[in-house]
Amino acid sequence: MREANIKLARARLELEAERKGVDISVSLNFMNPDSFLSEDGNVNAEAVTEFVSSLAPSKPAFNQDVLRNAGNHEMYARPDRHSPESFKGLSKAQIAKLVASGALDKLIR
């Protein structure tokens, strides 16, 4: 039973680390698995959460918007770059304001 709980604790650590954006793959080999078991031998969820929270994130959390906006090049375009497509729907006054502000200097030249 103890071995099963150690495997469960390890799985819980990996899951919690993935949620928090922490890489613990190397650390797992050096950890004392008993430190994540409670006195009755079950997984101590509080100890797992506390340990993982004490580590600095090694990778950014997964950004769900990356998949939602795949192919949306406008989202990642630099604001100082304009193309003729970016003028669709703009009024003459809005375009004049962009010209006056100098935001279109590179496009006009």
Burial class (CB in 10 A: 0-12, 13-18, 19+), 17: buried
**If pLDDT is split at 50, 70 and 90, which confidence band does 43 have?**
very high
**Prediction pTM value:** 0.50
Q: Which of 57, 55, 75, 56 is nearest to 66 (CA)?
A: 75
| One-letter identity of residue 51 | F
For residue 80, pLDDT beyond 60: no
**If pLDDT is split at 50, 70 and 90, which confidence band does 76 have?**
very low
Choose the most confident range, by mean pLDDT, from 10-14, 63-67, 94-98: 10-14
Q: Which of 9, 12, 28 is nearest to 20 (CA)?
A: 12
CA 57/CA 103 separation, integer angstroms: 38
Q: Give, in order, the Cα–Cα distances in Å from 88 to each of 25, 82, 83.
A: 50, 11, 10
pLDDT mean over 5-29: 87
Model pLDDT for residues 87-96, shown as the tens digit of each residue:
677 788 887 8
